[in-house]
Amino acid sequence: MKLKVNKNLCNGCEVCTEICPSVFEMQEDGLAGVKDNADYGPCVASEAIDNCPVEAISKDG
């Protein structure tokens, strides 16, 4: 499962980068995004989705 960040909702809290640092990064806009070379192996996707305080993370595809 791939993930995506809705930048219209993200508030830059950085929780996702702590939970799944292999997938998420903070970007130049101050918001989270999915890395170009995201490695989903170590990331529990449901944990990232459930812990974003503004529900900005969702399945991508």
Where do contacts with ligand F3S occur on this chain (CB under 6 A)? Answer: 5, 10-16, 32, 52-54, 56-57
**CB of 12 or CB of 21, closer to ligand F3S:** 12
Cβ closer to ligand F3S: 21 or 39? 21
Region of 15 on the Ramachandran plot (φ > 0 left; ψ -120 to 50 alpha; else beta) = alpha
Residue 4 DSSP one-character state: E
In whole angstroms, how close is the CB of 41 to ligand F3S at the nearest point?
A: 19
Instruction: Locate the DSSP E strands across 1-61.
Output: 3-5, 24-26, 32-34, 57-59
| Least Å from the CB of residue 54 to ligand F3S | 5
